[in-house]
């Protein structure tokens, strides 16, 4: 037993063990599921009933928001005549860490697809015929998944 403790480790063995520890921490982080953050506090406490408060990136003076996700929610509100107020703030994020998110009657909703579903439910927005709905879904997925690649 004293034979194992009396010899110093070679340099390559020390480097290899440090590398193995580093890789082990990275692998653990990779396989650990993300935690769901607690429900965020509502930023707009004096909200008007049925008014959508859209939190998004800052935009140019006479130009719509350059983020397709923010633009999508703003277009839905404009097309269907939903009262909305844009709150431009780059620091505030949803509980998932994303923009856009909305607050509707004291409810925090994030992710543009979930926002669209919630707006359709809350305001009873008409749906498209089946063939047009299929085209819209295909275009939406194409834009969401391939626009930034």
Q: Does the pLDDT of residue 19 top 80, yes or no?
A: no
pLDDT of 63-99, one tens digit each? 878 888 888 899 899 989 999 999 988 788 888 888 8
Q: Of 63-67, 116-120, 127-131, where does the model show the most confidence?
A: 116-120
The percent of residues above 90 in pLDDT, for the chain, comes to: 28
Beginning with the edge strand found earlier in the chain, give each strand of the sheet holding 84-88 in spatial order: 84-88, 52-56, 101-104, 107-110
What is the three-class DSSP state of 4?
Answer: helix
User: Would you give the distance in Å from CA 59 to the centre of its chain?
Assistant: 18
More confident residue, 2 or 120: 120
Cβ 144 vs Cβ 69: under 8 Å? yes
Fold adopted by 52-146: Glutaredoxin (3.40.30)
Buried b (16+ CB within 10 A) or exposed e, 28-52: eeeeeeeeeeeeeeeeeeebeeeeb
What is the per-residue pLDDT for 115? Answer: 94
What is the per-residue pLDDT for 5? Answer: 59
Neighbour tally for 57: CB within 10 Å: 14
């Amino acid at each position: 037993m004293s034979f194992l403790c009396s010899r110093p480790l070679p340099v390559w063995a020390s480097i290899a063990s440090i590398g193995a520890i580093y890789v082990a921490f990275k692998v653990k982080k990779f396989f650990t599921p993300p935690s769901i953050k607690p429900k965020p506090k509502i930023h707009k406490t004096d909200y008007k009933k049925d008014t959508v408060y859209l939190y998004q990136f800052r935009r140019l003076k006479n130009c719509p928001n350059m983020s397709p996700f923010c633009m999508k929610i703003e277009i839905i509100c404009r097309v269907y005549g939903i009262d909305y107020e844009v709150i431009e703030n780059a620091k505030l994020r949803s509980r998932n860490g994303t923009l856009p998110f909305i607050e509707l009657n004291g409810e925090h909703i994030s992710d543009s697809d979930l926002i669209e579903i919630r707006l359709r439910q809350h305001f009873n927005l008409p749906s498209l015929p089946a063939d047009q709905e299929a085209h819209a879904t295909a275009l939406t997925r194409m834009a969401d998944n391939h626009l930034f690649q």
